[in-house]
Structure 1
């Protein structure tokens, strides 16, 4: 455990163990998507891992994929009948009334992964991978900024259940406590309206509303998929992966400094499939 931050720093052995179990989730997504002709895309650090290493980035502790909104919603619907429910569960705002994030997670049953600072949340538990929907967004720069701002505010309000406990300052905790009383259903409705409002338009851009900054990509980068090797399997990636990664990370093929080679999903408790538990 990192005593300063209060989260687990995994040993190489346990990190490999976590990566192996996340790979099971990714393979299940791939199985359903290939069967039903759904496109998905390896994303962010997972995509860098496939391009630069042909596997996980050695220190990476999460898996990210993206889908166009239409495919994302189709996938979520198919999970009701196609998902192997003996092993996996889909978590989103419809399947879990306590889940406040604006993207889906596929979770591994009979496991646990509790994020540091989120121990009090009642949401479904389990080792997971993130599934981020991509939405069309207007070509108008002013409307882009307005859409991003409103969606960001909605995410902040939904995060209030965490912020009221863990914000760095008492004033911020008080503000988040007040925000936490706003009905979840209202904020989710506003977010969904704004995020999806341009999906029926033939725009030149796609947006990921799943991060605080928001990322806007050229639509042409996602016009088709290629396959990349990742952990001995072939998975889908966007045709324009070099453009997306360069925009987000710059020179992504260069290894970062040693002090920055660490994961981002800080956990306070993990239970693996074999029952092994790690806690701080």
Structure 2
């Protein structure tokens, strides 16, 4: 299993190098994210049990990235998100190695991927939490219909079949509203409304507006300058080491790094 995890990590690193090159050539700032920052901080590389790599960007950088990524990716790689494709499974972006196959625990089939999440500006002085309301609706949209027979569920499913039938249309509306709020704000924090673990936890602006580089797997990659403060805010603790029982790779039930996932699906 350790050998398999390392092989997945090396494939993820190949994707990271592609994204890093594109971002540097186009003056786009990104940062390692989540467990990848922990790995860089503690091990100067991937966490030994981690089977993916995560990046994050501010909305300004992210929008510039989305505009160019489809034309910039080398052959054999693809981008998946609600702005560009119909086959999205989340509110954030995946850059995928199409020559590989991974099956996640929930049965989702794809190639090995790198996740990129976006952090938006959220005004501090809002009396009505419009962003939180839209975020909650987004969770309903992404989770989809439920199967129980309660009145509440019937109403939910009806709304999903009518008003919120087009996921992409709603998410674009949500994005537009969040961007409008952020552009008008003089005082604001950042939040991961469109992330892997969508939430409204506030991050200090200084975290996302200053960058440096950090060693990761023998090469320097971009990271927010105050990455320790970022980790403390995200994980709400100062010790980022995980106990032994949590040092497991949770994502995949099947892996084939030589088989294109579209062939596997067929």
SS of the residue 2:82 aligns to: coil
Q: Name the CA distance, whole Å, in 2 between partners of 1:128 and 1:15.
A: 13
TM-score if structure 2 supplies the norm length? 0.85
Alignment CA distance shift 1:139-1:275 (3 Å): closer
SS of the residue 2:182 aligns to: coil
SS of the residue 2:67 aligns to: helix
Residue number in structure 1 paired with 2:207: 221
Residue number in structure 1 paired with 2:177: 194
Is 2:226 the counterpart of 1:233? no
Is 2:187 the counterpart of 1:203? yes
SS of the residue 1:73 aligns to: helix
Residue number in structure 2 paired with 1:112: 101
Alignment CA distance shift 1:270-1:178 (3 Å): farther
Alignment CA distance shift 1:109-1:138 (3 Å): same
RMSD of aligned Cα (Å): 2.8
Alignment CA distance shift 1:150-1:59 (3 Å): same
Q: List per-residue Cα deviations over 1:170-211 (Å, max 9, x = no partner).
A: 769878755652222442233213332223234331111122
Residue number in structure 2 paired with 1:33: 23
TM-score if structure 1 supplies the norm length? 0.81
User: How far has the Cα of 1:37 moved from its partner?
Assistant: 0.9
Residue number in structure 2 paired with 1:6: none
Q: After TM superposition, list the pairs within 5 Å mapping 1:1-280 onto structure 2.
A: 11-84=1-74, 86-119=75-108, 125-140=110-125, 142-143=127-128, 145-160=129-144, 164=146, 178=158, 180-181=160-161, 182-201=165-184, 202-209=186-193, 210=195, 211-264=197-250, 266-273=251-258
Q: List per-residue Cα deviations over 1:76-108 (Å, max 9, x = no partner).
A: 221232221x13111111332131422111101
Alignment CA distance shift 1:254-1:15 (3 Å): same
Q: Name the CA distance, whole Å, in 2 between partners of 1:159 and 1:258.
A: 31
User: How far has the Cα of 1:75 moved from its partner?
Assistant: 1.1
User: How far has the Cα of 1:36 moved from its partner?
Assistant: 1.1
> How many aligned residue pairs are there?
256
Q: Which ranges of structure 1 fall in alignment gaps of 5 or more residues?
A: 1-10
User: How far has the Cα of 1:116 moved from its partner?
Assistant: 2.5
Moved more, 189-198 or 23-32: 189-198
Moved more, 42-51 or 179-188: 179-188
Q: Which ranges of structure 2 fall in alignment gaps of 5 or more residues?
A: none
Alignment CA distance shift 1:138-1:215 (3 Å): same
